[in-house]
Amino acid sequence: MALTLLRGIRTPTLFRRNAGLFFTTIHPPLSSFTTRAESAQATESKAAPKSIQLATKEAAEHKKQGFEAVIGIETHVQLSTVTKAFCSCPYNYGSQPNSTVCPTCMGHPGTLPVLNAKVVECAVKLGLALNCEISMTSKFDRKQYFYPDLPKGYQISQFDIPIAKEGYLDLDLPVEFGGGHRRFGVTRVHIEEDAGKLLHSESGSYSQVDLNRAGVPLLEIVSEPDMRTGIEAAEYGAEIQRLVRYLGVSNGNMQEGSLRCDVNVSVRPVGQSKFGTKVEIKNMNSFSAINRAIDYEISRQIVLHKEGQADQIVQETRLWDESSQKTFTMRKKEGLADYRYFPEPDLPEVVLTSDYIDEIHKSMPELPEAKRRRYENMGLSMQDVLFLANDDNVARFFDSTLEHGADAKLAANWIMGDIAAYLKNEKLSIDEIKLTPLELSELIASIKNGTISGKIGKEILIELIAKGGTVKSVIEEKDLVQIADPAAIEAMVDQALADNPKQLEQYRAGKTKLQGFFAGQVMKASKGKANPVLLNKILGEKLNANS
């Protein structure tokens, strides 16, 4: 039931100025940011934090050219609460248009917002995770503008007193991008409600409004302008995604719009403290796109600077176009938008107690940064650390395997090797396979104590992943216990030598590589169960003794 809410109006010129691309974006007035970010960038910077080193190639490259980029990010996280922020409607991505709406989220006369307490809990969780100062008293404000997807003509948001402020986010850059630890400042986290969506007819002659998303709770996270390269910005976004998933406050899905990043990019000559004119980029739906869009935009701005056309860089919103791998102008900002913020009179202040915050603090899981530092201290390489800690499910599997006594390095190797390969091939996540952390630890132990060989181990692993069961039962069922009796191995070696006189002759003539051939023959005869160390020792003795 696609309810036509724009009842029969023809709007041929409605979106003309935005060309076709407007249709793919979410919401221009909502995400075009305001005085806050403006002032954040306009003020003199207190120089970049010391932790920012120019470790990445891109930054070094820009610096070589005499320029430095400054990047700030506004992230909208859609909370996965059961009901919307201010009414009791559910929200499910992809539902029939206007199927999860009520008079309140449709802005009918006389309806009033009632705050969903879960939203505050999520905000406090994320605020704490971002090392923010939590406001014991915060309030809601109205941000006012007209747009058909905004039912009330204003968005309930938080203006001068956000629920959390002045925090930071720690992350480790991927090794392939040069690695390095970073700390980026977080200006604020505030609560607001999402708007609906416009559905445009193919002919462009009319538009329809879907208000399912109207009133869905969002947290907006505003970063300090601390990033210098596309990869730093992308990793910041990825770390936010990890955090919200670790905390369980959002599914963090970019394709569904549950996590949206708008970035502000400016470029300035190295040594200049004043920021250059910033440009906002939207419409990136992956972290890789964020990385590429920013690097493209930085290059574009540097070129203009170098050509003496810095005045061509104007305050505007640009869209990232995936097909051409370029950004281009969506709309120029004509002065500052005036949203006429004022305190929302329909909602009382949000007053928190320290008990409430402590309670939430206690309930929080170990966060990615703490996890990475813990793994690092186990002696794992940064590559391993990042692989294990980046996915909450993987980290949980790994930790659980360690709890059952497995060696960290060995467990990491299994998870990152055979298990990861299997997951990749089968397009599964680690919590969808039948292998349990307990059995992985058993498997590692069985190899370590010589019950089975590593090769057999791999076979058992695949069996366990696909069918489940225990290491013990698979070993027994398939009779896979390693043959470690020297006499039995010796007998098999003798047999192999006797069966292959020609190769034996060649070996003795100097073709010592053939030791591998004999080992293979023995392995084959033992169905892979011969202890490889013993086998090689005995085989070597036999081959060389008779020479």
Partner 1 sequence: MPPPLQAQRLLLSHRRLAPSHRRLFTVVSSLPSAPTLATGAVPSSILSIRESLLSGERTAADITADYLSRLRRTEPSVRSFIHVADAAAEREAEELDRRIATGGREAVGPLAGVIFGVKDNLCTANMPSTGGSRILDGYRPAYDATAVRRLREADAIVVGKTNLDEFGMGSTTEGSGFQVTTNPWDDSRVPGGSSGGSASAVSARQCVVSLGSDTGGSVRQPASFCGVVGLKPTYGRVSRFGLMAYASSLVVVGCFGSSVIDTATILSVIAGHDKMDSTSSSHYVPDYKSELIPQDLLESKPLNGTRIGIIQETLGEGVETGVISSIKAAASHLEQLGSVVEEVSLPSFCLGLPAYYILASSEASSNLSRYDGIRYGRQISADDLNELYGGSRANSLGHEVKMRILMGTYALSAGYYDAYYKRAQQVRTLVKKSFNEALERYDILVSPAAPSAAYKIGEKINDPLAMYAGDIMTVNVNLAGLPALVVLCGFVEGGSAGLPVGLQMIGSPFSERASYDAAVNRLCLPDGFEASRIKFQDRFHGVY
Residues that bind partner 1 (CB under 8 A): 5-14, 35, 103, 106-115, 142, 144, 146, 148, 151-154, 209, 336, 338, 340-342, 345-348
Return the closest-CA partner of residue 462 out of 478, 451, 449: 478
3-state SS of 295-327 is: HHHHHHHHHHHHCCCHHHCCCEEEEEECCCCEE
Please give the Cα distance from 87 to 67 (Å, whole number): 49
Please give the Cα distance from 206 to 288 (Å, whole number): 34
Q: Which amino acid is at 362?
A: K
Residue 206 CA to chain centroid, in angstroms? 37
10 vs 511, which CB is nearer to partner 1?
10
The widest CA-to-CA distance across the chain, in whole angstroms, is 101
List the helix and strand counts (H, then E) for the chain.
19, 16
Q: How many CB atoms lie within 10 A of CB 203?
A: 7
| Residue 470 buriedness (CB in 10 A; 0-12 / 13-18 / 19+) | middle
159 vs 375, which CB is nearer to partner 1?
159
Closest approach, Cβ 328 to partner 1, in A, equals 23
116 vs 223, which CB is nearer to partner 1?
116
Closest approach, Cβ 121 to partner 1, in A, equals 17
107 vs 257, which CB is nearer to partner 1?
107
Closest approach, Cβ 142 to partner 1, in A, equals 6
Q: Which amino acid is at 279?
A: V
Closest approach, Cβ 101 to partner 1, in A, equals 10
Q: Where are the alpha helices (DSSP H) in 24-155?
A: 28-31, 35-42, 57-64, 117-129
Strands 197-200 vs 181-193: parallel, antiparallel or unpaired: unpaired
344 vs 384, which CB is nearer to partner 1?
344
Closest approach, Cβ 17 to partner 1, in A, equals 10
Token pair in block for residue 211: 């208000």
5 vs 54, which CB is nearer to partner 1?
5
106 vs 456, which CB is nearer to partner 1?
106
348 vs 516, which CB is nearer to partner 1?
348
Q: What are φ and ψ of residue 221, in 5° steps? A: -110, 120
Q: What is the dihedral of CA 159, 78, 89, 109, to 10 degrees?
A: 30
Token pair in block for residue 336: 């500052």
Closest approach, Cβ 33 to partner 1, in A, equals 15
Closest approach, Cβ 207 to partner 1, in A, equals 9
Query: Count of residues for the chain?
Result: 547
76 vs 142, which CB is nearer to partner 1?
142
Closest approach, Cβ 36 to partner 1, in A, equals 13
Closest approach, Cβ 345 to partner 1, in A, equals 4
DSSP characters over 409-470: HHHHHHIIIIIHHHHHHHT--GGGSS--HHHHHHHHHHHHTTSS-HHHHHHHHHHHHHH---
86 vs 184, which CB is nearer to partner 1?
86
The CA–CA distances, whole Å, from 436 to 410, 461, 477 equal 16, 11, 19
Closest approach, Cβ 343 to partner 1, in A, equals 8
